[in-house]
């Protein structure tokens, strides 16, 4: 017997026999239902909504999440002056693209507002996604490169296929298990479609 009381087999735990399963398998089976219920709580329960919105506001702040470049040309733990200079340039581009501009593809959301959307989705469903798109000519935009937030339900394996060693719930992995891409459905899987007219 181990040192953890939760692993004991006395009469208090005799009927408790949970199955040890892979976390990815559990998520694949239950994630969609849990996410839908979590969004429903956010829409309809004022206490839950207040809890989430307080966390979002305190985390994101007035200026949105601030990113700092970790650009590294090689795997050395030391940062060269050239690499440090490159980091400053990347940070400057990010500031120009995010301060008082519209960063989303529709040209409607500021950077802080988009940060709130992604972070809110992370808190409610466990996942938040934004995909990069190229849309020049957006109003109040610094550049053509922009981001579109997407519902986590749209991230799934191509053709809604089963998980494999390299594809897990829409996340593509390399041979070492590192994520290299996500696969996004063109439309939401639960979009309501009207029946075609019979005329």
| 176 assigned to some structural domain | no
Q: Which residues pair with 131 in a beta bridge?
A: 148
pLDDT score of 55:
94
| 5 assigned to some structural domain | no
| 124 assigned to some structural domain | yes
Structural domain range at position 30 = 20-154
pLDDT score of 199:
41
143 vs 131: CA distance, rounded Å = 16
23 vs 20: CA distance, rounded Å = 9
**Tokens representing residue 117 in the block:** 């959307």
pLDDT in tens, 112-153: 898 899 999 999 998 899 888 888 888 777 778 888 888 888
| 36 assigned to some structural domain | yes
pLDDT in tens, the chain (199 residues): 456 888 888 888 888 888 888 777 777 778 888 989 999 999 999 999 999 999 999 998 888 887 788 888 887 788 889 999 999 998 888 888 787 778 788 888 888 898 899 999 999 998 899 888 888 888 777 778 888 888 888 898 988 888 888 898 889 999 888 889 999 988 887 776 655 544 4
| 45 assigned to some structural domain | yes
List C-alpha distances in Å: 169 to 25, 38, 135, 189. Answer: 9, 19, 28, 14
Its pTM stands at: 0.70
pLDDT score of 177:
84
| 9 assigned to some structural domain | no
| 166 assigned to some structural domain | no
DSSP sequence for the chain: --S-GGG--STTTTT-------HHHHHHHHHHHHHHHHHHHHHH-HHHHHHHHHHHHHHHTTT-PPP-----SSS-SSPPHHHHHHHHHHHHHHHHHHTTSB-BTTS--BHHHHHHHHHHHHHHHS--EEEEEE-TT-TT-SSSEEEEEE-GGGB--GGGPPP-SSEETTEEE-TTS-EEEE-B-SS-TT---PPPP--
| 138 assigned to some structural domain | yes
Count of domains in the chain? 1
């Amino acid at each position: 017997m181990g040192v953890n009381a939760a692993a004991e087999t006395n009469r208090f735990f005799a009927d408790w026999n949970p199955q040890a399963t892979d976390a990815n398998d559990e998520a694949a089976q239950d994630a969609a239902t849990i996410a839908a219920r979590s969004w429903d709580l956010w829409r309809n329960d004022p206490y839950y909504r207040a809890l989430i919105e307080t966390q979002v506001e305190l985390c994101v702040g007035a200026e949105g999440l601030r990113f700092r470049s970790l650009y590294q040309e090689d795997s050395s733990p030391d940062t060269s002056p050239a690499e440090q200079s490159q980091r400053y340039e990347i940070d400057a581009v990010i500031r120009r693209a995010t301060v008082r501009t519209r960063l989303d593809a529709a040209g409607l959301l500021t950077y802080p507002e988009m940060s709130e959307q992604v972070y809110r989705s992370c808190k409610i469903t466990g996942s938040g996604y934004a995909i990069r798109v190229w849309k020049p000519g957006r109003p109040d935009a610094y550049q053509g490169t922009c981001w579109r937030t997407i519902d986590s339900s749209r991230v799934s394996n191509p053709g809604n296929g089963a998980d494999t060693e390299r594809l897990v719930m829409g996340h593509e992995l390399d041979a070492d298990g590192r994520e290299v891409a996500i696969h996004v459905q063109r439309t939401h899987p639960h979009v309501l479609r009207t029946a075609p007219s019979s005329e």
